[in-house]
Amino acid sequence: MSENKSRWVALITGANKGIGYETARQLGRQGITVLIGARDEERGRAAEVKLKGENLDARFVQLDVDDAATHDKARAFIENNFGKLDILVNNAGVLLDDRTDGVLVPASQTPLDVYRRTFDTNFFNLIALTQTLLPLVKKSDAGRIVNLSSILGSLTLHSDSQSPIYDYKLPAYNISKTALNAFSVHLAYELKDTSVKVNAAHPGSVSTDMNDQGSLALEDGAGTSVQLATLPADAPSGKFIHLGEELPW
């Protein structure tokens, strides 16, 4: 991307807390206008105030990934105020898999409703939002789309009995991230002759509301998203990345 970052505009979904908030914070510190996508107005505006307190150009945008009407309103807001979108970070997601007597519920016993609700947020509605905003990303000189995935979406590692995630099977969540990885590859291919780059990010094991067992600092967890959001023109697209290292699909 060009170095005049003061003219860049980034939208981060689920940005009122956790990795999304820290991603917005780090991008804002680079002079980028950050749009705080959040479904809860009070929390979204609180995040905006905190970032503005650091002299960052942050603006709350009401956006619920699971509400298509907010997708259209967000698109209209961005188009009317900026005319384009340089960075889209699809950060919002859910983890609905449960445990029985402390043991993760296996794939054959995970309720279909859990699969459906997980895929709605982590996959189908993410695609819907991306399709709505893609025309604005294409208007950027060098658009960047970052899809927050997880190493738990890696089929290679899940099928390797020696891998560190082999026994960590969260069926609905993991499979939704596998599907998101596939979408990232297909979208990157579609846009390969444009200046838009699409990549999947594994933030790492970060302690958040979704994951209470994380060991990586929040600042480092946001690092991969920030890196992929600001890739130079000669950087790859259609990759699965964690802190600069490529992961196996």
Residue 8's nearest CA partner among 194, 141, 195 is: 141
Q: Where are the alpha helices (DSSP H) in the chain?
A: 18-28, 41-52, 68-81, 112-119, 125-138, 155-158, 171-190, 218-229
Q: Is 173 a residue of the active site?
A: yes
**Pairing assessment for the beta strands 103-104 and 144-148 based on DSSP bridges:** unpaired
Rounded-to-integer distance, Cα 93 and Cα 14, Å:
8
Q: What is the CA radius of gyration of the chain?
A: 17
Question: What is the DSSP-derived secondary structure letter of residue 4?
Answer: -
Rounded-to-integer distance, Cα 112 and Cα 60, Å:
34
Question: What is the DSSP-derived secondary structure letter of residue 216?
Answer: B
In this structure, the dihedral spanned by the alpha carbons of residues 50, 52, 58 and 61, taken in order and rounded to 10 degrees, is 50
Question: What is the DSSP-derived secondary structure letter of residue 151?
Answer: G
User: Phi and psi dihedrals of 197, rounded to 5?
Assistant: -115, 140
* DSSP H or E segment with residue 12: strand 9-12
Rounded-to-integer distance, Cα 35 and Cα 189, Å:
27
Rounded-to-integer distance, Cα 95 and Cα 121, Å:
10
Active-site entry in 21, 168, 173, 189: 173
Residues annotated as catalytic (active site), given as ranges: 173
